């Protein structure tokens, strides 16, 4: 299992080339020919933030505030800007690596709060 996309404290690179290189490096370091799981790491720093507030209980996004959080019906496939496109391109590269048999499962990780210090 490994992660990719975030390298160090503030360096993010979700380009397909870097994602592929990162997976290949992990394969070499772990001395294996496939990875069980590869996570796109800390995507919230790259994708478009859709949040009406920075604190509080965001579980309300699943109840009365679906539109404010970009979760309303019809928003499922909305690409809001370049950050969203970067995440999708990275995910598609992981899907390609999966088809090649180098990656079994793909995941996405993020921090629970953007207000916590790194």
User: Does position 115 have pLDDT exceeding 60, yes or no?
Assistant: no
Tell me what percent of the residues of the chain surpass a pLDDT of 70. 86
Tokens of 21: 């290189």
Which range among 9-18, 24-33, 79-88 has the greatest average pLDDT?
24-33
User: What CA–CA distance (Å, rounded) separates 24 from 42?
Assistant: 20
pTM above the 0.85 mark? no
Per-residue b/e over 34-61, b at no fewer than 16 CB within 10 Å? ebeebbbbbbbbbbeeeeeeeeeeeeeb
Concatenate the DSSP letters of all residues of 61-78 into one string. Answer: GGTTTTTTTT-STT-TT-
CB 44 within 8 A of CB 115: no
Q: pLDDT grade, residue 61 (50/70/90)? A: low
């Amino acid at each position: 299992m490994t992660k990719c996309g975030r390298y160090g404290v503030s360096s993010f690179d979700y380009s397909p080339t870097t994602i592929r290189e990162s997976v290949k490096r992990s394969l070499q370091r772990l001395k294996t020919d496939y990875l069980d799981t590869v996570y796109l790491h800390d995507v919230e720093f790259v994708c478009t933030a859709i949040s009406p507030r920075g604190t509080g209980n965001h579980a309300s996004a699943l109840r009365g505030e679906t539109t404010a959080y970009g979760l309303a019906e019809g928003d499922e496939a909305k690409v809001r800007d370049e950050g969203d496109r970067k995440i999708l391109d990275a995910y598609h590269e992981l899907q390609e690596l999966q088809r090649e048999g180098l990656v079994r499962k793909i995941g996405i990780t993020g921090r629970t709060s953007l207000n916590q210090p790194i």
